[in-house]
Structure 1
Amino acid sequence: MERTAFKDLDLREFVTLNIKLIHFFGYFSPEFHNSTIKIIYFFYRLGFLSFIFFSCFLTQLANMIDSFGDIERMTDASFLLFTNIVQCLKLYCFMNYASRIWKLVHSMNAEVFKPRNQTQCEILTKEIKLSKTISVLFLLACTLTCISWGVSPLLDRTSDDGIRLPLSGWYPFRTDRSPGFEFVYIYQILSTWVNGLGDISMDTCVSGTIMFISAQLSVLRDALETMKHTKNSDHQTINEALVRNVVHFKNIVQFAEEVTFLFTAGITGQFVVGVVIVCMSMFQMSLVSVLSFQFFAMFLYQSCVLLEIYLWCFYGNEVIMKSDQLTQSAYMCEWTDAPEEFKQNLMIFMSRTQFPLKLYASGYFTLSLETFKAIAKSSWSYFAVLNQVHEGKVA
């Protein structure tokens, strides 16, 4: 009865919430069985992306061109522009590899990944809850950031200043008077909020797959440590347990390779452009009062960007550490009374697990805490250089 309960655990819950949100924003097409609904969704997707994402991207690009040469205006225009550029890479991953991503999601429920005892079930259930909690917290942080951007023009202005727009942008009409000002004000907050939620949904979907790999390695460690040979059991039973664990490990590696292939462009873009985004946002923070809402909004935005990168790097680091501990876990099983054939097979498996599993972005960036540290240090270095150049021009 308990075995049936273990099988009923839906491991796709690691990414279900994220997938539903990505569907809503039109970034990732559901699996339709009705051609009429598929056509309707296509036009919904086209209209949604055109009005919310691509029009926002074009206004930011035009603003960057218009402000070329002015450091303050360029940095003000760049951080959202670069965010949209990275989002394009993520959109490419989800749109171009839609069928393979669906196959990846469904493979989470494969028999080999299911828990075999209560301990393993608790490990997976805990990780699923954590994945959902992280997604919700990021979505709330995005919403709070957009609210801060929306209210900052109202709360930060002085008696001599008029109300400014929440964000910079270029538009083919006047935005300093009604109704253009009101339209752009609402559009900027709405588009930034929706784009932010969509971007975070894609990021946490990727992190969910990495958390799945980490959780499966924890399950495999438990399975290896609990292998035992008793007097009442035959030699075949413990050998079958080892073979099952070897197959489990092989499937984890294949799943990790597929995750790397599908999302490598988005992860690489986030790492490279993330350095620029954090640098530009820090520079913008240095131009405003620490007590202003604009400073608070930029701080929240920068924190979200850094935490998204940290999430990937942290769980990528967990994958490295847990896979590195598989050799020790295999040694901890009750092998002393096991048959010689089992001991030989166990040694072969232990030799393979001495090479830890690593997730890469474009074959260059390792998803690890060392990479996150390098990104943070680079952002600060570029900010220091940019700040010196700006102070030199002002002086």
Structure 2
Amino acid sequence: MQLNFDSSVNSFYSVQKRIMQCYSLYPQQLPWKRWLHNVNFIIIFGFFLMMLNLLLLMYIVINIGDMNEVIKGFFLLATCSACSLKILSLKFNILDLERLFAHMHDAEFKPLSLEEQRIFLNARQLSHTTRNSYGAVSVCALTTLLLTQCIIDNTQLPLDTYDPFQGERGSFGFCFMYVNHCCALSSACFINIAFDSLCCSIFIFIRCQLDIFALRLQSIGKSLNSEVATDAEMLQQLKHCIHYHKRIIELTSDIEAIVYKPISVQIFCSVLVLTANFYSMSQSTGETLLLLKMFIYQSCMLLQIFIICYFAGEITERSYGLPHDLYKSNWVGAHRTNQRLLLMLMLRLDLPLRIKTLNSSHSFDLMLFSSIVNCSYSYFALLKRVNS
């Protein structure tokens, strides 16, 4: 089996990188390119996203006495605010992200045996499937959100926001606001697809490396050539595994430093969005099309949180099993020096890898996902009781 390692690693992030380039997040060397990219970034971030945030905020303030209208504006404001933070985070950390991509190509992460190549190719396929599935659900939610209002009442804008023009259908103000809503939501949708699927892809890559590392731990001291070379070869294998584990830790630390802030804010905003959507769904009785729109959007939000928590949790879950993999090695007949080194490595492996949130006592995993859903429903029940 022939594996083009660089090309395979590049496939983990190439599509997301192209999307980020469309947002002008990468620095440019030539002055005219730098000027064009700055203009493009200002249009997408300032004119579309930040303007939509402002219009939603003004809509909430104007309708502060009407809980139903406040919820309508708030459930989109939380989403757009999280997307805005993701763009800023990528803009400020794009060079660190490029260095992370370069480190993923390091020779230490290259699979050596056929079994390791199989693990690597399966991880690559899982990354592609996750990205495409999440992208399809997100685009479906975007399309439903924008087109539903046209079917229900084509004289209204697709979103409930403040309309400074108060224009009727066909007027300049109406067309301007309609295009702004569509472009802003589309920008938010595709940056979500790029950022969230990129996080998942790198988490999958790290999990893949842990699986390969586990195989190498199990093979320590096995299939050695001779009795004389056993201790020296085992020592070499141990040193290689220790260095490999150190590189995996560094890679995990690098991605955590880039993504933990925007993902933590996304988690907080998702609680608000889920709560608002639960409330809106409970109020929309008999409106089938509106309920369908909310259900698809709710499903997209749940999937967004789930994939991040699941694949980040997979890293922690797999690292918990590494001491057991080391125990399966041929350590019984090893020299005392090698046994001591094996024990030190096992003690280090007892500390699992975690992708921590803003609160370092918590990490992204399925327990956090279940807490988010439970918390959202509890806030919804409280909001429902207060409003009734």
Q: Same fold (TM over 0.5)?
A: yes
Partner of 1:23: 21
Give, in angstroms, the shift of residue 323 of structure 1: 0.5
Kept in 2: contact 1:317–1:367 (CA 8 A): yes
Partner of 1:326: 322
Kept in 1: contact 2:131–2:197 (CA 8 A): yes
- CA RMSD in angstroms comes to 2.1
Partner of 2:362: 365
Kept in 2: contact 1:145–1:300 (CA 8 A): yes
Partner of 2:78: 82
Partner of 2:40: 44
Partner of 1:315: 311
Give, in angstroms, the shift of residue 185 of structure 1: 3.1
Partner of 2:334: 338
| Corresponding residue SS for 1:358 | coil
Give, in angstroms, the shift of residue 176 of structure 1: 3.2
Give, in angstroms, the shift of residue 147 of structure 1: 1.9
Q: Give the whole-Å Cα distance in 2 for the aligned partners of 1:113 and 1:39.
A: 38
Give, in angstroms, the shift of residue 312 of structure 1: 1.5
Q: Give the whole-Å Cα distance in 2 for the aligned partners of 1:21 and 1:51.
A: 19
Give, in angstroms, the shift of residue 6 of structure 1: 5.9
Structure 2, unmatched stretches of 5+, are: none
Q: State yes or no: 1:195 paired with 2:191.
A: no
Q: Percent identity?
A: 21
Give, in angstroms, the shift of residue 339 of structure 1: 3.0
Kept in 1: contact 2:165–2:174 (CA 8 A): no
Give, in angstroms, the shift of residue 274 of structure 1: 1.3
Partner of 2:200: 207
Give, in angstroms, the shift of residue 8 of structure 1: 4.4
1:97-176 mapped onto 2 (5 Å cutoff): 97-156=93-152, 163-176=155-168
Give, in angstroms, the shift of residue 384 of structure 1: 0.8
Q: State yes or no: 1:223 paired with 2:216.
A: yes
Amino acid at match of 2:72: D
The CA deviation string for residues 45-80 of structure 1, in whole angstroms up to 9 with x for no partner, is 222323322222221122122111210000000011
- Using the TM superposition, name which of 231-240 and 320-329 deviates more: 231-240
Residues 328 and 9 (structure 1), Cα distance of their counterparts in 2 relative to 1, 3 Å cut:
farther
| Corresponding residue SS for 2:161 | coil
Amino acid at match of 1:108: M
Kept in 2: contact 1:227–1:333 (CA 8 A): yes
Kept in 2: contact 1:268–1:365 (CA 8 A): no
Q: State yes or no: 1:354 paired with 2:314.
A: no
- Using the TM superposition, name which of 254-263 and 230-239 deviates more: 230-239
Partner of 2:284: 288
Give, in angstroms, the shift of residue 113 of structure 1: 1.2
The CA deviation string for residues 135-169 of structure 1, in whole angstroms up to 9 with x for no partner, is 12222212211222233224335xxxx74322101
Q: Give the whole-Å Cα distance in 2 for the aligned partners of 1:87 and 1:272.
A: 12
Kept in 1: contact 2:150–2:158 (CA 8 A): no
Q: Give the whole-Å Cα distance in 2 for the aligned partners of 1:102 and 1:12.
A: 12
| Corresponding residue SS for 1:365 | coil
Amino acid at match of 1:195: A
Residue 13 of structure 1: which of 8, 11, 14 is its match? 11
Q: Give the whole-Å Cα distance in 1 for the aligned partners of 2:331 and 2:296.
A: 52
Q: Give the whole-Å Cα distance in 2 for the aligned partners of 1:274 and 1:84.
A: 11
The CA deviation string for residues 285-334 of structure 1, in whole angstroms up to 9 with x for no partner, is 12224662221121111111111111121112211111011001111122
Partner of 2:385: 388
Give, in angstroms, the shift of residue 227 of structure 1: 2.4
Give, in angstroms, the shift of residue 356 of structure 1: 1.4
Q: State yes or no: 1:67 paired with 2:60.
A: no
Residues 346 and 182 (structure 1), Cα distance of their counterparts in 2 relative to 1, 3 Å cut:
same
Instruction: Calculate the TM-score normalised by the size of structure 1.
Output: 0.90
| Corresponding residue SS for 2:313 | helix
The CA deviation string for residues 207-241 of structure 1, in whole angstroms up to 9 with x for no partner, is 22222221111111111112234462413222212
Q: Give the whole-Å Cα distance in 1 for the aligned partners of 2:20 and 2:80.
A: 16
The CA deviation string for residues 24-48 of structure 1, in whole angstroms up to 9 with x for no partner, is 133x216x45444333222222223
Q: Give the whole-Å Cα distance in 2 for the aligned partners of 1:254 and 1:177.
A: 56
Residues 274 and 231 (structure 1), Cα distance of their counterparts in 2 relative to 1, 3 Å cut:
closer
Q: How many residues align?
A: 383
1:221-260 mapped onto 2 (5 Å cutoff): 221-230=214-223, 232-233=225-226, 234=229, 235-260=231-256
